[in-house]
C-alpha cells in the first residue's frame, strides 16, 4: 500500500483522531459529509477501468497484456465469413487479389468471388460430376465431392474463394463494433461525481461503489462468453477481466487510493502534503 506524508496543524491526538475517522469513513462506519469514501472508491474504479482498457487494446492487437495473457487469434473462417467489413475494405482486398466488381457470384445464389462465366463453368462441372457420383454414393456425399471437384478445377484456373482473399484480414480482436471496449473504458471523474462513457456501449458499464469498495465491469450480454470462453460453441477465452488481478495493477490502484485519500483529507480536515 502506498504511503503519503501529510501535514496537520493540531495535536498528535487530534491527528490520530482524524486518521481513525478517515478509516471509519472509508469502511462505511462513520458519516461522510464530504463524500470522502465515494471519491476514493470512484478514483480506484477509474484507475481499474484505465488498466482494463489499456490491456484490452493491447490484446486486441495481438500483444500480451500485463496479466501475461495473449488472446488466441481469430479464425480465418470467421475473418472471411463472419467479421463485418470496414468501408472499402472488400474492394481493396479484391483488388489486391486481382479481382474486380464482376467477381461477386457464388454457387447457390450466394455472394462470392466468381465472375458470371466462372459461375457458369462451376455449375456445369458440378452438375456433370454430381450426376455420375449419385449413381454410386449417397446424395450428401455426392454433393460434397462434386462441389470439391468443381472448386479444384476453377481454382487451378485462377478462381478465388472468400477464405483465400478475406481469411487473412488484419483486424483487431473483439473490436468489431467496439461496444464491449467502450463499456470498459473510463468515463469522466470529477471528485465524487462520475459520468459513464457516452460512446455506444458506455451505458452498459458497471461502476458501483459500496461500503468498503467499488465494483467495475460490463453488462454487455456477450461479455462473459468472451471473457471465459464457451467450448460448446468453439469460442476460446479472451480474458479482459483477469482473476487474479495483476500485482502491477494493484500497486497502481494503491497509489491512486493514497492520492485520493490525501485530496479528501485536504478538503475535510485541512491537512496538506
The chain-wide mean pLDDT, for the chain, equals 89
Residue 90: CA atoms inside 13 Å, Cβ hemisphere, count? 16
CB 183 within 8 A of CB 202: yes
Q: pLDDT at position 60, please?
A: 98
Cα 40 from Cα 273, distance rounded (Å): 17
Say yes or no to pLDDT of 102 above 60. yes
Which of 4-18, 70-84, 141-155 is predicted least confidently?
4-18
Q: Taking residues 225-249, what's their average pLDDT?
A: 96
Per-residue pLDDT band at 90 (split at 50, 70, 90): very high
- The pTM for the full model equals 0.83
Q: Name the residue among 20, 38, 22, 42 with its Cα closest to residue 211.
A: 38
Task: Say yes or no to pLDDT of 27 above 60.
Answer: no
User: How confident is the model over 127-171, as pLDDT tens digits?
Assistant: 999 999 999 999 999 999 999 999 999 999 999 999 999 999 999
- Domain segments of the chain: what residues? 12-72+174-269, 76-166
Tell me the CA distances in angstroms from 93 to 17, 136, 156, 231, 240, one per residue in order. 69, 41, 20, 32, 31
Lowest mean pLDDT across 17-21, 208-212, 254-258: 17-21
pLDDT band at 222 (very low <50, low <70, confident <90, very high): very high
Q: What's the Cα-to-Cα distance from 263 to each of 12, 66, 97, 214, 222, rounded to whole Å?
A: 20, 29, 60, 18, 38
Query: Looking at residue 212, what is its pLDDT?
Result: 81
In this prediction, residue 1 has a pLDDT band, given cuts at 50, 70 and 90, of very low
User: For residue 112, what are the CA distances in angstroms to 79, 160, 163, 165, 171?
Assistant: 14, 9, 10, 11, 21
pLDDT at 10: 54
- Residue 259's pLDDT band, with cuts at 50, 70 and 90, is confident
Q: Per mean pLDDT, which range of 166-175, 182-191, 207-216 is the poorest?
A: 207-216
Band the pLDDT of 122: cuts 50, 70, 90: very high
**pLDDT of 112 above 70:** yes
Asked if 171 and 83 count as a contact pair (C-beta separation under 8 A), the reply is: yes
Most confident of 2-6, 131-135, 257-261, 267-271: 131-135
Residue 174, Ramachandran bin (φ over 0: left; ψ between -120 and 50: alpha; else beta): left
> What's the whole-number mean pLDDT along residues 161-190?
96
Judge whether residue 9 has pLDDT over 90. no
Does the structure show a pLDDT above 50 at 175?
yes
What is d(CA 104, CA 126) in angstroms, rounded to the nearest whole number?
Answer: 19
**pLDDT band, residue 211 (cuts 50/70/90):** confident
Residue 192's pLDDT is 85
* Cβ-proximal residues to 20 (8 Å cutoff; 6+ apart), any chain: none
Amino acid at each position: 500500500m502506498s504511503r503519503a506524508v501529510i501535514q496537520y496543524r493540531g495535536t498528535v491526538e487530534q491527528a490520530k483522531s482524524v486518521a481513525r475517522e478517515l478509516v471509519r469513513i472509508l469502511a462505511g462506519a462513520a458519516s461522510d459529509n464530504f463524500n470522502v469514501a465515494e471519491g476514493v472508491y470512484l478514483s480506484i474504479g477509474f484507475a481499474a477501468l484505465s488498466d482494463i482498457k489499456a490491456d484490452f487494446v493491447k490484446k486486441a492487437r495481438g500483444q500480451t497484456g500485463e496479466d501475461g495473457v495473449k488472446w488466441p487469434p481469430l479464425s480465418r473462417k470467421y475473418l472471411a465469413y463472419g467479421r463485418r467489413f470496414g468501408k472499402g475494405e472488400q474492394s481493396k482486398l479484391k483488388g489486391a487479389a486481382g479481382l474486380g466488381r464482376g467477381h461477386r457470384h457464388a454457387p447457390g445464389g450466394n455472394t462470392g468471388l466468381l465472375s458470371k462465366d466462372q459461375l457458369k463453368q462451376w455449375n456445369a462441372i458440378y452438375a456433370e460430376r454430381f450426376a455420375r457420383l449419385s449413381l454410386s454414393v449417397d446424395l450428401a456425399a455426392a454433393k460434397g465431392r462434386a462441389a470439391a471437384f468443381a472448386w479444384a478445377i476453377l481454382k487451378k484456373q485462377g478462381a478465388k474463394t472468400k477464405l483465400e482473399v478475406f481469411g487473412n484480414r488484419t483486424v483487431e480482436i473483439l473490436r468489431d463494433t467496439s461496444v464491449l471496449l467502450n463499456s470498459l473504458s473510463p468515463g469522466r471523474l470529477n471528485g465524487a461525481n462520475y459520468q459513464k462513457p457516452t460512446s455506444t456501449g458506455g451505458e452498459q458499464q458497471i461502476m458501483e461503489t459500496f461500503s468498503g469498495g467499488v465494483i467495475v465491469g460490463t453488462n454487455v450480454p456477450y461479455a462473459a462468453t468472451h471473457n471465459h470462453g464457451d467450448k460448446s460453441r468453439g469460442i476460446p477465452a479472451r480474458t479482459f477481466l483477469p482473476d487474479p488481478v495483476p500485482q502491477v495493477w494493484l500497486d497502481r490502484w494503491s497509489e491512486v487510493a493514497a492520492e485520493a485519500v490525501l485530496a479528501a483529507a485536504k478538503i475535510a480536515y485541512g491537512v496538506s502534503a
